[in-house]
Amino acid sequence: MRFKGVAIGSLLMAAVPVAASNALAQNVTVAVGAAVGSIDPHYYTLTPNTSLDANVFERLVETDAQARPMPGLATSWKLVDDRTWELKLRDASFHDGTPFTAEDVAYTIARVPTVVNSPGSFAIYTRPITGVEIVDAHTIRLSTANVYPLLPTDLAQLFIIPHKLGANPTTEDFNSGKNAIGTGPYRFVSYKPGDRIELERNDGYWGTKPAWQHITYRMITNDAARTAAMLSGDVAMIDQVPTADIARLRADKGVSLWETVSLRIIYLALDQGRDGPTPFVTGPNGEILAKNPLKDLRVRQALSIAINRPAIVQRVMEGAAIPSAQFLPPGSFSYVPGLVPPPTDIAKAKALLAAAGFPNGLKITLHGSNDRYLNDAKIVQAIGQMWTRIGVQTAVETQPWSSYAGHATKLEYSVFLQGWSISSGEASNPLRALVATFDAAKGRGTVNRGRYSNPALDSLIDKAVSTADDGAREALLIQATRMAMDDVAIIPLHNQKNTWATRAGFTYVPRADEETRAYDLRPAN
Amino acid sequence: MLLWFLRRLLQAMFVMLAMSLIVFIGLHAIGNPVDILISPEADQAERARIITQLGFDKPLWQQYAYFLQGALHGDLGRSFVFNEPALQLILQRMPATLELAVTAVLLSVLVGLPLGLFAGLYPNSFAGRAVMAGSILGFSLPGFWVGLMLIMVFAVSLGWLPSSGRGTTAALFGVQWSFLTRDGLAHLVLPALNLSLFNISLVLRLARAGVRETMPLDYIRFARAKGLSPTRVVFVHVLRNILIPVVTVVGLELGSTIAFSVVTESVFAWPGMGKLIIDSINVLDRPVIVAYLMIVVVMFVTINLVVDLLYTALDPRVRLGGRA
């Protein structure tokens, strides 16, 4: 007995004097919920990685909090002819003191496709560039094979690294810090995989001076642990605040919440590729149907208007989303004004089903992941109940993402939950990826797992992405989005909100693209 | 002795081979890493390029053959996610886990053994019963819940200890350790306690049962009749004889504490191997999973070896090599 007292007592005594204090104003700890896998800014197009990279490196074109392009390392860009962009570059310098020039841009564009073993290459953003011409140290021209108005959007994904890194800089050298040289507001100090990244203020930064001398960027992937770190004051800011903890943190006077609607759309994909029976939809008594009922617009409409989106947002998502009837949240480029979710109408849904030849309803197995999107398993369960009310007996089956993703890619499901983060912040990206006809040669419909296909929509999308004028392109994108949604190519559910929490006394600019940037964390006045 | 050792080594290699095969087939059955790893932004051409580059276009047996070939040369493959050698990734995180596990097991022996002795010697006292009742809690409370409660009480409410992470580390033998700094120790307390709770109860119960069993035996009566002091009887005659099951269990528990401290590591954001393996399983990062399990096999074999050697030290009747 005594022994235990001594052992624990001495440990506690050792601990008490170092009680948590985050008072050193110049040192700030930020905790993120997703592990950073690499410091190499061209290794993996994954938000946790780019989020950290955005503290150290910069892009030619940056995006504001609502994902609209704004000047970054390029101060301006314009088309000199319909296939050539000219960019004027900023007077900036890298962390090691070398000035930033057009040479570095050319070097970066050449390096991106050479990164070995990349599971998500940034080459998709450099591929449209067919020619690079350095006009002078601060002017560069990029040419494309076709008219390509999305080049600035693509450049907003590409971090610039200095050309003095030489031929084939390795990912390991970025992780060790040797190559981790950018122009960003913070310089890289050290990286402990799975634990933390230390950053130091870049005093030579061209923009507004960064607020903190030293940033510790910790990875706390467990939701409860991240919230606890916030509550105990161990960290000044956390991202990905779990929806279940939002109410509690909101009530805490020592904590401020910062939220914005994200570019992530959660939707249901519907198998429209099979003409014959689809595996998980049968007649009301389990009889196999000769034709795929999901190909009937009325069935798709019935399924969509049976869903009570506001209820899902309020109850399941605890307010951390907005109901949606299209890809993008309001305020984005190519948002369709007035396209809002249809009111839930059970009688009309039943009537539509009857008109489609299913007066006694259908039997559907709805699939979803259970560890990928916020509350994904609960969302499909809620939808299952809503569909049962219109006479569609719905069974719900959820799986871990690691297993689910494979089945979904192999088109084994009939109706299933998906999420998509619209990195470009405009509608051509989801139009091309989610609802354009699957076409490997053209690189279209890459995640169109319902295999929806509409030639009229395809040609409209093609026309939009080759229209240089922003106004005209936006009009076409709006028209295309409306066409896809009227045809219920997918059933949009909601746009997630991103929530950050800081200690009181800080301000933060929440970003629609989910990036967590120490630069946007500032002391409140 | 040498023969015995060689046989053990051969067994270990066979287990590793079987294990790697099972993992390969098992992961293949769960899903295709390609579907999870490849960035959703990638178009079909890009997908095809990555699939070829990572070797997923080959049949499974061929992928396994490549793996074996590499493994024979000491190369267990590169992580798909981190693009670093899998072995290196794991070894980087190993000190954190070892430190946590060894502290936890030490704690379980240092706390559990005295308590168990006490409960065994005074089974009917109030304190003895209280200890036994307490050990039931140690057994039955789920680790993640206890971890969260520890954080809520000691970090959030009282503010005595940090809620998570490893704190400041200092170098020893070229490796970073937390226990060398005050801040690091403060970070170590809660996760180690959390991890040891189950083992404390286990050791306590084993020790108590051992004492209860040993006390009525003739040689103890004889020792007492001889007039030896109670201290000597308990700490020499009794303790030594109850240690064999304790050593076995502590050895095995050390292994599983190192290998499967996943829950504690993620609740306390402890940057060890456990977190790495669970993240790797989520994205089917096969080279890391295989390498990790290989290391676990090696570790268990080594621990069993040490346990066997300890037996001979503790009990002269035990002989290695099966000829007792």
Same domain, A122 and A177: yes
Q: Is residue A321 in a domain?
A: yes
pLDDT of residue A2: 38
Q: How far does the CA of residue A1 sit from the closest CA of chain B (Å)?
A: 6
CB atoms within 10 A of CB A146: 10
Which CATH number covers residue A402?
A: 3.10.105.10
Residue A4 has pLDDT above 60, yes or no: no
Q: Is residue A16 in a domain?
A: no
Q: How far does the CA of residue A64 sit from the closest CA of chain B (Å)?
A: 21
Residues 6+ apart with CB under 8 A from A486: none
For residue A245, what are the CA distances in angstroms to A221, A224, A238, A241, A255? 15, 9, 12, 7, 12
What's the gap between Cα A138 and its chain centre?
Answer: 32
The closest alpha carbon to B147, from A503, A234, A222, A31, belongs to A222
Mean pLDDT check: name the lowest of A9-13, B154-158, B291-295.
A9-13
Q: Is residue A447 in a domain?
A: yes
CA distance A126 to B34: 22
Which residues in chain A are closer than 8 Å to B51, comparing Cβ atoms? none
CA distance A190 to B172: 19
Mean pLDDT within B182-204? 87
Token pair 């267990």 in the structure block, residue:
B76
Residue A487 has pLDDT above 90, yes or no: yes
Mean pLDDT check: name the lowest of A255-269, A277-291, B30-44.
B30-44
Q: Is residue A167 in a domain?
A: yes
pLDDT of residue A1: 34
More confident residue, A521 or B284: A521
Name the domain boundary from A166, A189, A219.
Answer: A219
Q: How far does the CA of residue B187 sit from the closest CA of chain A (Å)?
A: 8
Dump the DSSP string for A418-449: EEEE-TTSSTHHHIIIIISPPBTTTTB-TT-T
What ipTM was predicted for this assembly?
0.77
More confident residue, A342 or A25: A342
Mean pLDDT within A387-391? 93
Beta carbons of B31 and A15 less than 8 Å apart: no
The closest alpha carbon to B1, from B314, B316, B312, B301, belongs to B312
pLDDT of residue A493: 96
Q: Is residue A109 in a domain?
A: yes
Name the domain boundary from A192, A219, A246.
Answer: A219
Total count of domains within chain A: 2
CA distance B29 to B51: 18
A284 interface with B at CB cutoff 8 Å: no
Same domain, A215 and A127: yes
Q: Is residue A276 in a domain?
A: yes
pTM, two decimal places: 0.82
For residue A214, what are the CA distances in angstroms to A197, A236, A516? 11, 13, 16
Which CATH number covers residue A211?
A: 3.40.190.10
Beta carbons of B267 and A225 less than 8 Å apart: yes
Same domain, A49 and A102: yes
Question: Nearest by CB to B30, which of A7, A19, A402?
Answer: A402
pLDDT of residue B170: 72
Mean pLDDT within A364-388? 93
Residue B32 has pLDDT above 90, yes or no: no
Same domain, A312 and A212: no
Proportion of chain A above pLDDT 70, given as a percent: 95
Strands (E), A82-209: 84-89, 129-136, 139-144, 186-192, 196-201
A13 interface with B at CB cutoff 8 Å: no
CA distance A388 to B268: 42
- pLDDT tier, B59 (very low <50, low <70, confident <90, very high otherwise): confident
Domain of A320, in residue numbers: 262-496
Which residue on chain B is closest to A225 by alpha carbon? B267
Beta carbons of A400 and B282 less than 8 Å apart: yes
Mean pLDDT within B264-278? 84
Residue A234 has pLDDT above 80, yes or no: yes
Same domain, A199 and A301: no
Same domain, A395 and A280: yes
Beta carbons of A402 and B83 less than 8 Å apart: no
Same domain, A192 and A323: no
Q: For residues B138, B142, B146 and B148, what is the CA-based torsion angle, rounded to 10 degrees?
A: 170
> Which tens digits make up the pLDDT trace of A390-408?
999 999 999 988 888 888 9
Which residue on chain A is closest to B82 by alpha carbon? A37
More confident residue, A375 or B29: A375
Q: What's the sign of the alpha-carbon dihedral B35, B39, B45, B50? A: negative
Residue A86 has pLDDT above 90, yes or no: yes
Q: Which helix (H) or strand (E) holds B177?
A: strand B175-177
Amino acid at A334: S
Q: Is residue A369 in a domain?
A: yes
CA distance B107 to B200: 7
More confident residue, B306 or A344: A344
Let me know: does A124 contact A155? Beta carbons within 8 Å: no
Same domain, A294 and A438: yes
Same domain, A201 and A272: no
Residue A494 has pLDDT above 80, yes or no: yes
CA distance A103 to A177: 22
Same domain, A200 and A326: no
Alpha-helix residue ranges (DSSP H) falling in B168-238: 182-214, 218-225, 230-232
Same domain, A206 and A288: no
How many residues are listed for chain B in this entry? 324
Looking at every residue in chain B, the average pLDDT score rounds to 83
Residue B323 has pLDDT above 50, yes or no: no
Q: Is residue A381 in a domain?
A: yes
- pLDDT tier, A507 (very low <50, low <70, confident <90, very high otherwise): very high
Same domain, A337 and A197: no
